[in-house]
Amino acid sequence: MNLDRFFPLVFGLHCFAAMGGTADVFRVSQLSSSDLSEPVSVKTLWGEVQRPSLPTHVCTVLPARLTPKHGSIDALDANPKVSKPDTKRLQDAIDDCPAGSAVKLVIDSHRKSGFLSGPLHLKSGVTLWIDDGVTLFASRNPKDYDKGNGTCGTATSTHEFSCMP
């Protein structure tokens, strides 16, 4: 039996315990939906941290347009000339969404579950809600991150950053 795949879980639990966590971490799977609506906080060395909560208002629901194969969209993103990133569609939805709301990414009616995007700028107070089973993939095309001078992804002799974060 290959135990390497369990290392992140065991390592994470040890780190959690070292920071003052308790065995209650195992109770997460037993929570009911009413438990999730109650505010929960965790005291840490850095202060009290509240459980994140999703906005009650969803301004836009975007269905996925890509079908990942074995958890990957390499075949769809390998050739930048035929790649179809969702960056503009995602950014437009974020820009049109008021603070306190969410843009929700969902699986479409044909079980497509993938989004492909370059850099996105989230507005203050707007949540990008990636629903269960949906994957937001980052584009591998350097041009999607270029600041306009065409040198993102290339070695240059200047100290200028040519890629968007």
* Residue pair 136/107 in contact by the 8 Å Cβ criterion: no
pLDDT at 30 over 90: no
Residue 72 — φ and ψ, nearest 5°? -140, 150
The pLDDT of 73-95, averaged and rounded, is 90
In this prediction, residue 105 has a pLDDT band, given cuts at 50, 70 and 90, of very high
Give the list of residues 6+ apart from residue 110 with CB closer than 8 angstroms, or none.
67
pTM for the whole structure = 0.67
